[in-house]
Amino acid sequence: MKHRHLNKWIKQLPTPAKALVIIGLIILTIVFGEPAIDKIEQLFNNSNIQLETVTLKRVVDGDTIIVTNQAGSDLRVRLIGIDTPESVHPDANKNTAEGQLASDYTKEQLKKNQTLYLEYDEELHDQYGRTLAYVWLTNNVDSNDIEDISNYMYNAKLIIDGYAVAKKFPPNIKYAEIFKQLETK
């Protein structure tokens, strides 16, 4: 649902207040159109994260993608907080069938030219120069809501669907405990 934060807030209101809010939203939508509701939704989105909008260029493997940012630069992004088995390692002996499955899964889930949203943690790059990020499938998320993390953060989705394990890479550990919980479900 596109406006879930607003919907959650409205559901908590007493019935008379709900009616007034809904009437107000209808009037704003008629006068200003859909963007008015998007602006109102932002007020109720209690997520404190900043997201960078990017476009998927290609999938490298299960936990690495290449994206293009709004400035037109390509970034090699390593999904943080997780680890998938190897599938494109230069030493072919380190590549595994499970790694190929994770890579294929990511290629099925993320499509070329798809809009994605990057969230950064403490450290922006790893020792190989890759950008380290949590990858969100939408920018309308509450980063404190386990349901939003489970449904809309691709890093978490890989764990839930069994293609990745939770792995701490300090200092980037913002979601480490949540990832561990998801791994045991």
- What the chain holds in terms of domains, given with CATH numbers, is 4-44 (no CATH), 52-183 (2.40.50.90)
Q: Hey, what are 136's tokens?
A: 């969100």
Pick left, alpha or beta for residue 72 (phi over 0 → left; psi -120 to 50 → alpha; otherwise beta): left
DSSP 90: S
Pick left, alpha or beta for residue 16 (phi over 0 → left; psi -120 to 50 → alpha; otherwise beta): alpha
Sequence-distant (6+) residues with CB within 8 A of 146 are 178, 181
Task: Summarize pLDDT for 50-96 with one digit per residue, the tens.
Answer: 999 999 999 999 999 999 999 999 999 999 999 998 877 778 788 68
Among candidate residues 4, 52, 58, 86, the one labeled active-site is 86
Among candidate residues 98, 130, 177, 183, the one labeled active-site is 130
Among candidate residues 58, 78, 147, 183, the one labeled active-site is 78
Asked if 177 is an active-site residue, the reply is: no
Listed range (20-24, 108-112, 172-176, 180-184) with the worst mean pLDDT: 20-24
Contact 141, 131 (CB under 8 A): no
Q: Mean per-residue pLDDT for 136-146?
A: 92
Asked if 78 is an active-site residue, the reply is: yes
Asked if 86 is an active-site residue, the reply is: yes
